[in-house]
Amino acid sequence: MFGVISVAEGSSLELMQAVAHEFSPRIEVNDPRTITLDLSGLTRLFGEARAMGEALARTAGARGLRVRIAIAGTRTAARVLAHATGGPLTVVDPGDEAAALARLPVELLAVCAGHDAPAVSNRRTPASSHDADVTTFRRWGLHTLGDVAALSADAVAARLGQQGVRWQRLARGEDLRPLLPVVPEERFEQAIDLEWPIEGLEPLSFVLGRLMDPLSVHLERRGRGAAVLHVRLHLVTRVVHERTLQLPTPIRDARALRTLVLLDLESHPPAAAIDCVSVTVDPTPARDLQHSLLTRPLPSPEKLSTLMARLTALMGEGRCGSPALVDSWAPGAYAMTRFSPDTLVPSHRALSTSEVPAVALRRFRHPVHARVRVQQGRPVSVGGAVTQCAGPWRTAGHWWDEETWDRDEWDVTLSDGAAYRVFRDRRTDRWFLDGIVD
């Protein structure tokens, strides 16, 4: 069962929505003057259809709205009746929609056609197309919606195509699409004004606990998690100390959120006492984890985020995360990205023989200074006699900044069978061990 509210021109749309939300949680705004309500299952609260319509009319009148209300089994019938009838309230029993619309003029099809068109295609049908179809019905001698509804569906489809079939369904009061309810914008925000200014993280942790608990409950009820956390600390100096935390995974655990904020403020403390605290969350759909019986379970997102925050507070910004390759010839070049355990799950696919690497270089994190003896431009001793060597391979780059490098690389095998990669820094003429060749 659906109800439609049609108000006089110039009425406030926000006031109309407020009245509609008092009766139904699912409403659809058709145009600035028309709102559709889903009244299914509300008879226990407001009574039967007529009693429900009278209560809706009284509430709208108390807010200063002049309305016409129609209640029917379909949205299409209720919308047409709200525009066509002159009375303040029209009620049609479910199943009688076609009979209630039968005597109405065919021009009323244009009232609902524009709203039902998006369900059929991705664009609205132009108004000129609506007028052309109504004119066609007039030429056929059809003057009422009942005349259109009584036509043969096959004959209408043969002459007007699928658009004509949709017109006929509208004339019968049938809905072409489901209700598209307006989703109210929710704000996940908590704030508190302190009676006395506070200093230090210990008293602030109690305040954050009072703010995070209701936020966590609100997120859980809505099936959301925090993607971004905004913390605003209003200081006694009239300065706002603001911090924004990008969370790696959706989190809604109050204790974890409080710990993350405290760890961030430990590295970026406010400059003065605090007299107001505000926390705002940018929500995102919560993530449901399904553990596998074949792989080791990963830590929970709350524990993982807390661990990364502690490491960041200890090591500094940009020093914790996952290394990623960069498009550079610079030796040991990499970039630090946000740690995401989902991308670190090892693959259990067996490697073919051709995919197994034949040689691997275990590079030292920092090159080791070495004493190398050279004859005829080739290394002959690196802490031991060199039995085989290959090279040199000269690499250079970044001459325009402080990260410049210029070196000759050699792969050498010593008398004990160990293989190393060594290089000579051409700027300082010094030799280094770059790694071990397996």
Of 109-118, 206-215, 293-302, 321-330, least confident by mean pLDDT is 109-118
Burial class (CB in 10 A: 0-12, 13-18, 19+), 161: exposed
In the chain, residues under CATH classification 3.30.70.270 are: 2-171
The fold for domain 2-171 equals: Alpha-Beta Plaits (3.30.70)
Of 168-177, 233-242, 333-342, 373-382, least confident by mean pLDDT is 333-342
Contact 266, 313 (CB under 8 A): yes
- CATH class name, domain 188-285: alpha beta
Which residue reads 């690499």 in tokens?
Answer: 395
**pLDDT tens string 297-350:** 666 666 777 777 777 777 777 778 788 888 888 887 888 887 766 554 444 455
| Residues 6+ away with beta carbon under 8 Å from 347 | none
On the CB side of 95, how many CA atoms lie within 13 Å of its CA?
A: 0
HEC string for 112-147: HHHHHHHHHCCCCCCHHHHHHHHHHHHHCCCCEHHH
The pTM score is 0.50
pLDDT at 351: 53
**CB contact burial 11-23 (16+ within 10 A = b; e otherwise):** beeeebbebbeeb
Q: State what percent of residues in the chain have pLDDT above 90.
A: 13
In the chain, residues under CATH classification 3.30.1490.100 are: 188-285
pLDDT category of residue 193 using cuts at 50, 70 and 90: very high
Of 39-43, 139-143, 288-292, least confident by mean pLDDT is 288-292
pLDDT at 133: 67
pLDDT at 230: 94
